[in-house]
Amino acid sequence: MPIQSRNVNVALIQRAATLDPTENLQATIADIEQAAKQGAQIVCTQELFRSQYFCQSEDHAKFDLAEKIPGPSTEAFSQLAKKLGIVIVASLFEKRAAGLYHNTAVVLDADGAYLGMYRKMHIPDDPLFYEKFYFTPGDLGFKIFETKFGNVGVLICWDQWYPEAARLTALAGAEILFYPTAIGWHPTEKAEYGTAQHDSWETIQRSHAIANGVYVASANRIGHEGDLDGGIEFWGQSFICNPSGTILNKASVDQPEILMAECDFAMLNEQRTHWPFLRDRRIDAYSDITKRYRD
């Protein structure tokens, strides 16, 4: 007897950000409403969508962009999710306590219920990506959210380079991994390294889909932001791929888009039985994975 399909329409919001957090919130809400009209059932924002990417410099004033969770954004999305009957994944700058901040994603179920948060685990520190100045590493571990339309796993940007993060989230029961993202080129490096950088970014995420038998959906921003050392040219190209790593839909480099694809979560069992990586894992032989490096 064939397995019954579990088709879910997934949408990613790809936008350019302005300097006005309220304007960014209202524009993103409008895009989510449009996505729902087009049939979206799960919608994900780009990373830190309420502001431009402020981590290009170490500026104490930027901490004022943070908010409590639950707070104003989660309340707005809770009402929106309930009104539209959809699941929303939103990336926020969380003020947990005085001097304690996180890069956090929240999940709202289709009835508006706040299901919880994921705090970014891997925090980069690179030129124009000075996130360690702002964000405390996550302390909630890798988790899933059981929503009306499926088991959602959320990881954030720099997390997308780590097979361990994808694996542990998949083992927790994720059917789809969402990666809210803010990644782009240093304009002075684009000509020489740009193609390879983007290809690496896309390839590593598609490999997570293959290795774990899950869907992957990565929402990036667009536009040029900042003038320090040339700023960052965000490369867009948000995409959704299936458990075989095949890209189902992909956005442009420089245009705002509501990117959507139909995901059949029943496909996970077919993929995992034909490519039984989870079955053949040697969990008895992996203890050294918790070491920093061989000694």
Contacts of 243 (CB under 8 A, 6+ apart): 209, 210, 212, 213, 214, 215, 267, 268, 271, 272
**Catalytic entry in 44, 55, 157, 263:** 157
**Catalytic entry in 55, 94, 120, 263:** 120
Is 120 part of the annotated catalytic residue set?
A: yes
**Catalytic entry in 47, 175, 202, 257:** 47
Alpha helix stretches (DSSP H) within 88-212: 163-171, 187-212
C-beta atoms surrounding 19 within 10 Å: 9
What is the Cβ-side half-sphere exposure of residue 152, based on CA atoms within 13 angstroms? 31
Beta bridge partners of 225: 232
Please give the radius of gyration of the chain, using alpha carbons only, rounded to the nearest integer: 18
Is 55 part of the annotated catalytic residue set?
A: no
Alpha helix stretches (DSSP H) within 113-233: 163-171, 187-212
Question: Which phi and psi (to 5°) does residue 117 adopt?
Answer: -135, 160
Q: What are the catalytic residues? A: 47, 120, 157
